[in-house]
Amino acid sequence: MKKSSNTTGTGAPKSDSQLSEKIHKTHSARATKIKARKVNRDISATKIQKAWFIYVDKTLFKLLKHAVCAAEYCVAHELLKKVSPIEAALVKDPSMKCKVRFRFGGDTFPPFIVFKIFFKNDGHGHKYFSGKGLLKPSSKAVADAYKIMGERKFYQQIMEDEHIFQKFKVADRMDVVTVQDYMQYCSLMDETPASSGGKNNRWRRLNLRSIPRTMMMYDIVEYAESGVISDRLQKEMKYLLQTPQTEEMRQHQLELVSKVRYPSITTVRPFYQTWEQQSKTKHLGRRSKQAQKKVEKMKKAYMAPKEKKASCTEAQTDRSQTKEKVIFCSSSFNILTVEKSQTDTTLEKEEKELFAWYQDLYVKHSSLF
């Protein structure tokens, strides 16, 4: 029986098109797998980044919280001294009953620190005194204020008042005519700050300039603004990020943030030391016997010329210090012997020659007359 030509055997070779389709499928499957891996890596990387950013933001918020608490309970007066010394003096006065509050402000993270001074009235109303309302233009008080404030600040205040008047048209009691004007004037006084004669006790921002650099608070605020951690903050960060278990631990954390640390004064030895000071200093480590012998020889060679010079100078001083020895008789006090030094004899010869020259000159000068 002969087989038909249409039927193909099991061991028949495949065509090129089928092989190319298979290779294309394998390549596409590998490409999809690589893409899936890349997508998974990107997703995992973004998750890790988000988790890290959340952790950094939490640590920064904890540090800023410590800074705000320390500013309010520990160093409020010292910070206010740098911002406004006049207000600091008023806050320190016990009769004023003022308190300083520190809070967070801002629309974005990280927040900045703001402060406000509150006055306790114990249920009584406030009465505001403003130089703009009390001082009349024709009084001498305005001239005194001009002298105290200075020309520049005085003109700035006048220009600000004129700008407010041009904008709102009702900026003074003299401009009030109707009830609507009065309501507009009251709302304007509530919105304008106290420095411009208003009643608005607004929150003010605490800058790095108003925080002393010796405090840890400065490092925390600088880290919030610039993102750079100082070495001092990095050392104490682990302890500051711990949740306080007791009140003592909380107080200690606030002390670390608000403590004024002075720079350590290190004793620096002078570059040059005398030979006596060098001999007194003890050398660390051991020397060999040969090295010790060399050092002794060098000392002897160095000290020998010095000793010779010292002996020569002593001999010269002894010679110069020799004086006349006069011996007297006990009965008639007559000079018997005189011992003179060589230097004295030379001096006497020079003196005699000079005296003779002077005598001849005097004789010649007298003969002219």
CB 205 within 8 A of CB 113: yes
Residue type for 153, please? K
Q: Quick check: is 12 in a domain?
A: no
Same domain, 104 and 206: yes
pLDDT at position 48, please? 92
**Pair (116, 90) in one structural domain:** yes
pLDDT at 33: 82
Give the model's pLDDT for residue 333.
Answer: 44
Predicted confidence at residue 366, as pLDDT, reads 47
Model pLDDT, residue 18: 67
Count the neighbouring beta carbons within 10 Å of the beta carbon of residue 299: 12
Give the tokens for residue 305: 């010329």
Q: How many angstroms separate the Cα of 57 from the Cα of each of 54, 165, 170?
A: 5, 45, 47
User: Which three-class secondary structure state does DSSP give residue 117?
Assistant: strand
Same domain? For 106 and 164 the reply is no
The answer on 36 and 106 residing in a single domain is yes
- 3-class state of residue 281 by DSSP: coil
Please check whether residues 32 and 93 belong to one and the same domain.
Answer: yes
Q: What is the pLDDT of residue 81?
A: 86
Residue 5 lies in a domain: no
Query: If the chain, 369 residues long, is cut into consecutive pieces of 10 residues, what is the mean pLDDT of each piece?
Result: 47 61 74 84 90 92 92 88 84 82 90 87 68 74 82 82 83 83 84 78 87 89 89 90 89 88 53 53 59 80 75 61 46 47 58 64 49
What number of other Cβ atoms are within 10 A of residue 197's Cβ?
Answer: 20
Residues 249 and 111 in one domain: yes
Question: Which parts of the chain fold into alpha helices (H)?
Answer: 16-73, 76-83, 85-92, 131-134, 140-149, 151-168, 179-191, 216-226, 231-240, 247-258, 275-280, 289-320, 342-368
Range of the domain at 144: 129-198
Q: How many domains does the chain have?
A: 3
Answer yes or no: do 205 and 193 share one domain: no
Do residues 62 and 99 share a domain?
A: yes
**Among candidates 186, 124, 192, which has minimal Cα distance to 157?**
192
Q: List Cβ neighbours of 44 (8 Å cut-off, separation of 6 or more).
A: none
Question: HSE-up of 255 (CA within 13 Å, CB side)?
Answer: 6
Q: Is residue 112 part of a domain?
A: yes
DSSP count for the chain of H helices, then E strands: 13, 5
